[in-house]
Amino acid sequence: MAGQAQIQNASPRGLFITLEGTEGAGKSTLIAYLAEMLQKQGHEVLLLREPGGTEAGEKIRGILKSPYLSEPLLPETELLLMYASRVQLVKTRIIPALERGVMVLCDRHDLSSFAYQGGGRGLPLETIKAVRRAVLGDFRPDLTLLLDLPVEVGMARVSQRGAKDRFELEKLDFFKRVRAAYLEAAAQLDYVKVIDGAQSPEQVRKAAVAALESLFLPDNAYNGL
């Protein structure tokens, strides 16, 4: 961490930074590094994950990840549970923290729904956008780091883990559709920065820090948030 550029936020409002990617992309690894870096630089940091992060959200996470449901969850049910968890987190944790100047880092957010429930499960994007608009309005991250890598590489990284959850039991094709949907969405959203997640951890960290620094460049649309 020596020699790291100082991430300065001139505004009293905090920044909302989210990490996205398919399984084993390295989100949890990177988010822990970024949280520590920002804390060492004197920022107050709130580390969250989706689905989850609140009492209700963690219970919803349990339902969503359980491989033991005797009746399959409909894609629509899955989508609404994701947004139920998300809106609870955004309104009770994220927005109040941003208003206090806290740097909020979240492992997955909205883009996951477009990738998994849209690309993976095949729900129409208009349905997802309508749910999003209804509960979150215009709220969105200041920066999303999408760790992109071939799904086989991510799967190989996590292959030694024990019992699989409901998502991890999906086939390769599902995750390929998820990856494609992520990249398609990223191409249309200027706050999403795609990082090659197949690089070494050190290279991934450098690219992520550069993206954070770019939030504060004078010509950046989000400068001075």
CB of 168 to ligand Z5A, least distance (A): 6
The sheet carrying 16-21 orders its strands as 45-49, 103-107, 16-21, 143-148, 192-196
Choose which of 116, 119, 145, 181 interacts with ligand Z5A (CB under 6 A): 116
Is the CB of 88 or the CB of 112 nearer to ligand Z5A? 112
For residues 49 and 107, is the Cβ–Cβ distance under 8 A?
yes
Is the CB of 149 or the CB of 216 nearer to ligand Z5A? 149
- How many other C-beta atoms are found inside a 10 Å radius of the C-beta of residue 163? 7
| φ and ψ at residue 141, rounded to 5 degrees | -65, 155
Question: How many angstroms separate the CA atoms of 53 and 56, rounded?
Answer: 8
Does 127 contact ligand Z5A by CB under 6 A? no
Rg (CA), the chain: 17
CB of 21 to ligand Z5A, least distance (A): 5
Choose which of 13, 29, 183, 220 interacts with ligand Z5A (CB under 6 A): 29
Choose which of 16, 17, 26, 185 interacts with ligand Z5A (CB under 6 A): 26
Question: How many angstroms separate the CA atoms of 225 and 221, rounded?
Answer: 9
Is the CB of 116 or the CB of 216 nearer to ligand Z5A? 116
| φ and ψ at residue 149, rounded to 5 degrees | -160, 160
Contact string (CB under 6 A) for ligand Z5A, positions 185-214, x = contact: ---------------xx--x----------
Tell me which residues in 52-111 interact with ligand Z5A (CB under 6 A): 82, 108
89, with CB counted inside 10 A (0-12, 13-18, 19+), is buried
Q: Which residues bind ligand Z5A (CB under 6 A)?
A: 21, 23-29, 49-51, 82, 108, 112-113, 116-117, 157-158, 167-168, 200-201, 204
